[in-house]
Amino acid sequence: MGKVIVGTTMSLDGFINDETGSVARLYPDLAQLRETQMLQESIESTGAVVMGRYAYDMANGDFTGYEYQVPIFVLTHHPPLRVTKGQNDRLTITFVTDGVENAIEKAKAAAGMKVVTVVGGANTAQQIMNAGLFEELQIGIIPILFGGGLRFFDNVSLKNMQLETTQILESPSRIDIRYRVVK
């Protein structure tokens, strides 16, 4: 089975949203983001996605045109009642209510030899990191300062975690750094 990559985009001062909860300044140009080497490589290598309910809700139940056309596993306590738009023979949405371990297990089975990419939702990423259910960390850094908001690494036990830089990708609007977890 493939590896699990936890990824996020953050401000230079380490926030994944601003004090109002907005991520708009982190993604000012989605068309430009889709052209980055980082996202192109991620789309190509990803066989399944795990995300939290907050990230799912940001799409307002519409995944039409979503960049990852793979099975998506949404970690939640309460699945929504309305049907998700944009599902097709490749992109399916499964709501997982029985824990992060089961979400990762289901995503790995769906991904086969490809990667499971964890996108969106600090809480989901933090649970996965704390449970040691990932092999790589991918951090996109945007050259802005929020001065407050939600920090990605809060509530994560990092005391004994060692990381090795495996890739640095620069684009006009961001720097993406990939780390392998040294076990």
- Render 11-29 in DSSP notation, one character per residue: ETTSEEE-TTS--GGG-S-
> For 11, what's the count of Cα atoms within 13 Å in the CB-facing half-sphere?
19
Task: Give 10-residue mean pLDDT values along the chain (183 residues).
Answer: 91 94 86 82 94 90 91 94 90 96 97 94 91 94 95 86 93 92 88
DSSP string, 105-157: HHHHHHHTTSEEEE-S-HHHHHHHHHTT--SEEEEEEES---SSSEETTTT--
Q: What CA–CA distance (Å, rounded) separates 97 from 91?
A: 19
From CA 16, how far away is CA 26, in angstroms rounded? 8
pLDDT of residue 65: 84
Cα(70)–Cα(60) distance, rounded to whole angstroms?
18
pLDDT attached to residue 140? 94
Whole-angstrom Cα distance, residue 40 to residue 91?
17
pTM for the whole thing?
0.92
**Is-contact 172 39, C-beta < 8 A?**
no
Domains contained in the chain, CATH given: 4-182 (3.40.430.10)
Spatial CA neighbour of 156 closest among 128, 176, 137: 128
